[in-house]
Structure 1
Amino acid sequence: MLDYIVVGLGLAGISFCDTLERNGKTFHVVSDASQQASQVAGGLYNPVILKRFTMAWKAGDQMEAVRPFYQQLEEKLGVTVDHPLRVLRRFASIEEQNTWFEAADRPGLERFLSTKILPNQNPALDAPFGFGEVMHTGRIDTALLIRAYKAYLEQNYLLTFEHFDFGELKLCKDHVSYKGMEAKHIVFACGFGLKQNPYFNYLPLNGTKGELLIIKAPDFKEDSVVKSSVFTIPWGEDLYLVGATYKWKDKTNTPTEESKNELLDKLTTFLKCDFEVVDHVAGIRPTVVDRRPLVGRHPKHPNLYVLNGFGSRGVLIAPYESQQLFNFIEGGQALDPEIDIQRFTKKHFNN
């Protein structure tokens, strides 16, 4: 009998599987790659919310785990997915500079926000008030990570590539079975696909559509992430990722002309060189009404678990929350109440 069946192979699924493997647990993955959010993510690990110059939720703790986690994955998979990059926040005014300095004095932020204003030295950028630098940041190549991890699972016969059929899932007293596989636990890490899960679809996973452009800009010559009204991320070979949009009503993975124009309008306010759009992608981020992950055990079926709701910061959150869930299942350690699905479960099942 397996220890785990894991459903989903985005950042959440990969992080949890890797946590299982490092702790000597057996598992098998079922995934159909229907959710695109991890595939098309910008992949930044950045602890600071750059709109307000505040620390993202639990970001200090998450940053401690992020580089060691992805570095050991690189060694296992034989690929390079971690690309350290500095993040530059373009200032729109002297007032923004002053707000940055105030933020840099706050506990937790002082080790990430440089107190030196960087003058603009790139003629392709309009940035008369310069930049603030976020330190210890980088980008994970999520698409490459998913391809490499999928190949690793296939090589070791640990992946069933199919749409999960809930009609084939049988819940027993001390285990679950699915198409001939038996496991002590099953963990659903399937992003926005949770909406089709009959056991967990009561959870308030809203889903936010994000769209990104890839542009070719030979004269840009920028090797840092630039954050203004949109961000630009160096992609190599004169390519840059530009994003992102946030749409709450459209739940498709289809890129739209409206979002493309929105991104281009914002980009051209500060990028002053010629460029061409070479690709346009979209995905649904698994976002939650209270902006906290969804982690925990089903209230009526103790072998069923969920790992979801990482929003736009999956690269940063996934390793940290995967360890939390593992410690909860295997070590009996209580989940942080902010992420525990009991915050929604009690209300739903008491009605």
Structure 2
Amino acid sequence: MLDYIIVGFGLSGLAFVEQLEKNNKSYVVFEDSSQKSSRVAGGLYNPVILKRFTPAWQAIEQVETAGAFYKNIEKKLNQPLVFELPILRRFNSVEEQNVWFEACDKPILERFLSAELYENTNNALDIPYQYGKVKHTGRIAIKKLLELYLGVIDQKKSLFKESFDYAALSTTPNYVEYKGVKARHVIFTEGFGVQKNPFFKDLPIVGNKGEYIIIESKALKVTEAIKSSVFIIPLGNDIYKVGATYNNHDKSVEVTERAKEELIEKLERFLKVPYQIIDQVAGIRPTVKDRKPILGTHPKFANLHILNGMGSRGILIAPSMAQNLFAYIEKDVPLNKEIDVKRFMT
């Protein structure tokens, strides 16, 4: 008998599997690549909400946990996956600069926001009011990370590249069985795909579509992430990811002309040099109405668990949420009420 069946393998699935690896637990993963939000995400880890200059939820704890988590995986996979990358926030007015200085004085933000303003020296960009710099930020090569990690799981004969058939899952008080595989627990980490899961489909994971365009510009020459109305994220070799959109209504996974036009319009407000669009990607973020992740155990089936709802900040929060869920299942460590699935299921 196995310890765990993992259904879905985005950032949440990766984070939980890493917990199993660290604790010598046996598992198999079912992944059909239907959910792409992790793979198409911008890859930035950033503890500050740059629209309002406020800290992200549990910012300090998340940065510390996530930083060690990704460095450990980078070492394990022996591939460059973590890149330090400062974020420069473009100011739109002197008033915004003053709000930035006020935020710098707040205890939780002083370690993340630089009180020094930075002049723009790049003629490719229109930056009339200087930059503010966010510290302790960077980029994770998420798509490469997930592909490499799945390859390791596949080599162990622990990967099933197929959709999960919920009707084939049977539960008993002590274990579950799925197509001849017995395990003590099932962890559903399906992102927005949870809407098809009969055990957890009624959770308020509403979904938020995000699209990016990938551009090439030999004249841009940016080595930091630039945040204005959109992010410009350097990927190397004169390639940049630009985005993202936020659409609560469109739940399709296809890219749209409307999103491309929106991103172009916002980009060209401050980009002054030629560029070429070479790709466009889209994914549905698993967002929750109260903006907190959802984890815990099904109220009727003690072997079925969920790890979901990471929204647009999965890079930062998935590692610590996986730790919390593992400790809850294996060591009976209570979950914080604000993240427990019980707030929506009784």
TM over 0.5, shorter chain: yes
Task: Quote the residue 1:12 is aligned against.
Answer: 12
Task: Quote the residue 1:177 is aligned against.
Answer: 177
CA distance in 1, matches of 2:155, 2:78: 14
CA distance in 2, matches of 1:43, 1:343: 30
1:254 aligns with 2:254: yes
CA distance in 1, matches of 2:299, 2:44: 34
CA distance in 2, matches of 1:314, 1:158: 24
One-letter code aligned to 1:283? G
What is the deviation of 1:220? 0.5
What is the deviation of 1:179? 0.9
CA distance in 2, matches of 1:338, 1:282: 29
CA distance in 2, matches of 1:156, 1:76: 15
One-letter code aligned to 1:153? I
1:123 aligns with 2:102: no
Task: Quote the residue 1:197 is aligned against.
Answer: 197
One-letter code aligned to 1:320? S
Task: Quote the residue 1:229 is aligned against.
Answer: 229
Task: Quote the residue 1:349 is aligned against.
Answer: none
What is the deviation of 1:173? 1.3
Task: Quote the residue 2:284 is aligned against.
Answer: 284
Task: Quote the residue 1:82 is aligned against.
Answer: 82
The DSSP-based 3-state class of the residue aligned with 1:38 is helix
Structure 1 stretches of 4+ with a deviation exceeding 4 A read: none
Task: Quote the residue 2:243 is aligned against.
Answer: 243
Output the TM-score relative to the length of structure 1. 0.98
One-letter code aligned to 1:87? I
1:163 aligns with 2:163: yes
CA distance in 1, matches of 2:174, 2:318: 27
CA distance in 2, matches of 1:320, 1:338: 14
One-letter code aligned to 2:138? G
CA RMSD, Structure 1 to Structure 2 (Å):
0.6
Task: Quote the residue 2:318 is aligned against.
Answer: 318
CA distance in 1, matches of 2:199, 2:130: 50
The DSSP-based 3-state class of the residue aligned with 1:313 is helix
Gaps of 5+ in 1: 347-351
Output the TM-score relative to the length of structure 2. 0.99
Query: What are the within-5 Å matches in structure 2 for residues 59-70 of structure 1?
Result: 59-70=59-70
One-letter code aligned to 1:344? F
Task: Quote the residue 1:142 is aligned against.
Answer: 142
Task: Quote the residue 1:335 is aligned against.
Answer: 335
CA distance in 2, matches of 1:81, 1:8: 21
CA distance in 1, matches of 2:233, 2:255: 19
Task: Quote the residue 1:35 is aligned against.
Answer: 35
Query: What are the within-5 Å matches in structure 2 for residues 209-228 of structure 1?
Result: 209-228=209-228
- 1:119-166 alpha-carbon deviations (Å, 9 max, x no partner): 111100100111000001001111001110111111111111100001
CA distance in 2, matches of 1:197, 1:334: 25
What is the deviation of 1:72? 1.1
User: Which moves more between the two structures, 65-74 or 303-312?
Assistant: 65-74
What is the deviation of 1:188? 0.1
What is the deviation of 1:249? 1.1
What is the deviation of 1:79? 1.5
The DSSP-based 3-state class of the residue aligned with 2:5 is strand
Task: Quote the residue 1:305 is aligned against.
Answer: 305
What is the deviation of 1:57? 0.7
Gaps of 5+ in 2: none
Task: Quote the residue 2:271 is aligned against.
Answer: 271
One-letter code aligned to 1:193? G
Q: Percent identity?
A: 51
One-letter code aligned to 1:247? N
CA distance in 2, matches of 1:75, 1:192: 30
The DSSP-based 3-state class of the residue aligned with 2:344 is helix
CA distance in 2, matches of 1:195, 1:114: 41
CA distance in 2, matches of 1:180, 1:93: 63
The DSSP-based 3-state class of the residue aligned with 1:318 is helix
One-letter code aligned to 2:15? S
Query: What are the within-5 Å matches in structure 2 for residues 103-118 of structure 1?
Result: 103-118=103-118
What is the deviation of 1:75? 1.6
Task: Quote the residue 1:23 is aligned against.
Answer: 23
What is the deviation of 1:218? 0.6
The DSSP-based 3-state class of the residue aligned with 1:345 is coil
CA distance in 1, matches of 2:204, 2:343: 11
The DSSP-based 3-state class of the residue aligned with 2:336 is coil
- 1:43-62 alpha-carbon deviations (Å, 9 max, x no partner): 11100000000001112110
The DSSP-based 3-state class of the residue aligned with 1:312 is helix
- 1:102-135 alpha-carbon deviations (Å, 9 max, x no partner): 0011121000000000011110010011100000
